[in-house]
């Protein structure tokens, strides 16, 4: 049985990584639906699905995009751009539904398509740089207005938007009878069929099949926006501290691991300033140290400022992917409140419970980390605790102490040598 477990897991992961593709039907139109920044996962999915649709005999492909920019590999993006400009079957790019956006390299994909469609109210522009990480890209392919700003589509735009349609249904009808140049030949698309039913002519459209990235790709792409990557980073670190200091080993470790994994993918995908991430990490360490002291202190303020500054500045990209300051401050506020309110409350409830606290800490031996007067700090079972010793004779640094009582986050201790 154990021999079958690993192959089964590998097979499951392989299935999750596959794009969600429909079965091969005789006549249909395929829609490739991608939203969010175009990372390697999204670009690979677009390329592979276009090629698959051509081999499957699709009538045409509509590439539906709602994306603030390209964050993937430039070489892979170049492959997709070339494929969109010279597709193996009739292809249209649609920016929709409103209020969909097309910024950066997504504008190039739209401009290169044989048929360019946008929903009324869609935003198109901020076209430079093409790839977010390439800040040296100053090649002007569009008017200065589109290069540095965006416009809200209300009518057709020369060399950029040929048709305005609000939804896929109208686009399918629009495509009927349209001729596309396909690698040296002209292909006429037929999306409507007329049949006679009870003596009446009935017009129907070809089946439309929607394709989205596979579940594994969608899971990874949860973290490809700056706000999401930052949220997963600070949430993962905070939950890890919560696990270690407040509740002990449990399910929170899995939550922290998943959050940090997603944060790692987002940080590896996005262009980042490592010094800003370092500030955020130092801020988290300061908040953790402040929690260990058992009170809101200077370290709490310092940690809050460092996490906020790091979050606001960690993305080193174009205006297409700037960090939202309001979202950043909300994330920081939530983390600080968690450290100041939630973690002490949970820890106090856990360690002041007779059945848990006394069994877990009372009677354990640790070592004094500072001189007591009468309060100080001790290390018990590898963890640093605020402690108190209400005795006439103070406890010196390095003295072995025994926990006699737990009061919330403060341990009452006495020197081991005083025992009779």
The stretch 77-106 carries a mean pLDDT of 94
- Residue 10 clears pLDDT 70, i.e. is over it: no
The stretch 102-117 carries a mean pLDDT of 93
325-337 pLDDT, tens digit each: 999 999 999 999 8
Beta 208-211 vs 29-35: how paired, if at all?
Answer: parallel
How would residue 377 be classed by pLDDT, with cut points 50, 70 and 90?
Answer: confident
Of residues 141 and 180, more confidence is placed in 180
> Which pLDDT does position 296 carry in this prediction?
63
Pick from 66, 74, 76: nearest CA to 36: 66
**182-215 burial, b for 16+ CB within 10 Å, e for fewer?**
beeeeeebebeeeeeeeeeeeeeebebbebbbbe
185-216 pLDDT, tens digit each: 999 999 888 776 766 777 788 899 999 998 88
Pick from 192, 196, 194: nearest CA to 208: 192
* Residue 203 exposure: Cα atoms within 13 Å on the Cβ side: 6
> Which pLDDT does position 408 carry in this prediction?
64
Pick from 351, 343, 354, 335: nearest CA to 387: 351
pTM of the entire predicted model = 0.74
How would residue 319 be classed by pLDDT, with cut points 50, 70 and 90?
Answer: confident
Tokens 């640094």 belong to which residue? 397
Name the CATH superfamily, with its identifier, for domain 355-418. Answer: Nucleic acid-binding proteins (2.40.50.140)
Mean residue pLDDT across the chain: 83
CA distances from 105 to 127, 128, 229, 381, 400 (A): 6, 8, 21, 54, 64
Q: Which of 46-50, 136-140, 197-201 has the lowest mean pLDDT?
A: 136-140
How would residue 138 be classed by pLDDT, with cut points 50, 70 and 90?
Answer: low
How would residue 240 be classed by pLDDT, with cut points 50, 70 and 90?
Answer: confident
- Residue 352 clears pLDDT 70, i.e. is over it: no
> Which pLDDT does position 22 carry in this prediction?
42
Residue percentage of the chain with pLDDT more than 90: 46
Protein fold of 28-213: 2-enoyl-CoA Hydratase; Chain A, domain 1 (3.90.226)
279-304 pLDDT, tens digit each: 999 999 998 888 776 666 788 899 99
> Which pLDDT does position 231 carry in this prediction?
95
| DSSP H helical ranges for 242-371 | 251-269, 274-293, 298-313, 325-337, 343-351, 359-360
- Residue 34 clears pLDDT 90, i.e. is over it: yes
Q: How far is CA 248 from the centre of its chain?
A: 28
> Which pLDDT does position 17 carry in this prediction?
44
- Where residue 160 falls (left for φ over 0; alpha for ψ -120 to 50; beta otherwise) is alpha
> Which pLDDT does position 295 carry in this prediction?
61
Note if the bond before 241 is cis, omega within 30 degrees.
no
The stretch 36-63 carries a mean pLDDT of 95
How would residue 244 be classed by pLDDT, with cut points 50, 70 and 90?
Answer: confident
- Where residue 198 falls (left for φ over 0; alpha for ψ -120 to 50; beta otherwise) is left
Query: What are the φ/ψ torsions at residue 122 (nearest 5 degrees)?
Result: -70, 155
- Residue 247 clears pLDDT 70, i.e. is over it: no
Domain residue ranges of the chain, discontinuous segments joined by +: 28-213, 223-351, 355-418
Of residues 126 and 35, more confidence is placed in 35
Of residues 415 and 53, more confidence is placed in 53
How would residue 146 be classed by pLDDT, with cut points 50, 70 and 90?
Answer: confident
């Amino acid at each position: 049985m154990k021999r079958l477990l690993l192959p089964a897991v590998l097979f499951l992961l392989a299935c999750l990584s596959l794009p969600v593709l429909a079965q091969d039907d005789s006549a249909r139109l395929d829609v490739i639906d991608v939203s969010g920044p175009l990372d390697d996962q999204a670009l690979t999915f677009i390329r592979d699905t276009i090629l698959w649709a051509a081999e499957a005999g699709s009538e045409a492909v509509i590439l539906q995009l709602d994306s603030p920019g390209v964050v993937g590999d430039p070489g892979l993006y170049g492959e997709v751009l070339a494929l969109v400009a010279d597709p193996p079957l009739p292809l249209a790019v649609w920016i929709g539904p409103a209020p969909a956006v097309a910024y950066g390299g997504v504008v190039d994909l739209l401009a290169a398509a044989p048929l360019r469609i946008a929903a009324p109210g869609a935003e198109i522009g901020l076209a430079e740089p093409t790839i977010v990480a390439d800040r040296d890209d100053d090649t002007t392919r569009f008017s200065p207005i589109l290069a540095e700003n965006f416009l809200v589509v209300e009518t057709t735009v020369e060399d950029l938007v040929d048709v305005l349609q609000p939804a896929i249904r109208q686009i399918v009808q629009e495509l009927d009878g349209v001729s596309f140049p396909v690698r040296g030949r002209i292909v006429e698309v037929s999306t409507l069929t007329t049949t006679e039913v009870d003596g009446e002519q009935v017009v129907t459209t070809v089946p439309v099949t929607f394709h989205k990235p596979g579940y594994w790709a969608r899971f990874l792409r949860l973290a490809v926006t700056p706000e999401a990557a930052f949220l997963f980073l600070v949430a993962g670190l905070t939950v890890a501290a919560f696990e270690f200091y407040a509740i002990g080993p449990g399910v929170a470790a899995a939550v922290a691991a998943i959050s940090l994994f997603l944060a790692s993918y987002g940080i590896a995908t996005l262009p980042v300033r490592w010094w800003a991430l370092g500030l955020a990490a130092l801020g988290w360490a300061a908040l953790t140290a402040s929690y260990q002291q058992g009170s809101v202190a200077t370290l709490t303020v310092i940690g809050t400022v460092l996490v906020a500054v790091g979050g606001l500045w960690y993305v080193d990209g174009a205006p297409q992917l700037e960090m939202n300051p309001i979202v950043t401050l909300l994330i920081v506020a939530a983390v600080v409140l968690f450290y100041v309110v939630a973690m002490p409350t949970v820890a106090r409830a856990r360690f002041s419970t007779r059945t848990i606290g006394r069994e877990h800490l009372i009677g354990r031996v640790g070592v004094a980390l500072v001189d007591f007067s009468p309060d100080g700090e001790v290390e018990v079972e590898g963890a640093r605790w605020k402690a108190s010793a209400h005795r006439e004779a103070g406890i010196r640094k390095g003295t072995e102490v025994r926990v006699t009582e737990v009061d919330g986050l403060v341990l009452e201790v006495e020197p081991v040598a005083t025992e009779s």
